[in-house]
Amino acid sequence: MASEAGALAGRVALITGGTRGIGRAIAETYAAAGASVCVVARKQPELDATVAALTARGAAATSWRGSAGEPEVVDGAVEHCIATLGGLDVLVNNAATNPYLGPTVDLPGSALEKVLAVNVAGPVRWVQAAWHSWMAEHGGVIINVASIGGLRTSPGIGIYNVSKAALLHLTRQLAGELAPTVRVNAIAPGLVRTDMARALWEPNEEAANRMQPLGRIGEPDDIASAALYLASDVSSWMTGETLVLDGGTLIR
């Protein structure tokens, strides 16, 4: 694609779960590409550190604290982003949770409610707020960070996978509803070196690498590069699609 420098100049991006892992990498990549960035997360020290890092790159940056699954956080963050940075051109639904590991039939009700609130209802609310507050009039781009778990079954994380399958379908549904002024696409990462996925790669990273046809697990920057492509004009004729970035996992 075109050079990253200036690819998002003059645009404003809001990224949920924007202080760690994939979200942080996307925030830094967007800032390097000229965007102003608002990050949303639950912990103030992490928000402060991320904003400091983005401003050190010369980007305009701000933050909003709270859980991406709470309606009042959604409304407050979108209002703050527009008021502080002057718009909302790119929304990245990256925040997710997975509080349960085990058989789906034994899933506690509290874990079910949390997964659905953050991973499914949350993105719906973020899109609604972005649309009604800015994108309906000005257009924009929405990127949903899903998972290859939404394309297959796997033991232990069944409800997480179900929530990501719902997010992939939501991507297609919204792409049809919001065209032609707003493009909506998704990214489905495989195993990436993040804190959230630590239990899957840290106990035996060498074995995890061998399981990938390309010989390694993913890095947050791998996903951020795809998020830049989807946010930029280079992908201007693309909507309703899912980019699978998994090192070849699904071909085996």
For residues 68, 74, 77, 81, the Cα torsion angle rounded to the nearest 10 degrees is 110
Straight-line distance from the first to the last Cα atom of the chain, in angstroms, rounded to the nearest whole number: 28
From the candidates 30, 100, 160, 229, give the one annotated as an active-site residue.
Answer: 160
Reply yes or no on whether 160 is catalytic. Answer: yes
Contact 79, 86 (CB under 8 A): no
**Which residues, 6+ apart, have CB-to-CB distance to 150 below 8 Å?**
161, 163, 164, 165, 166, 167, 168, 188
Which of 8, 62, 65 shows the shortest CA–CA distance to 31? 8
Active site residues: 160
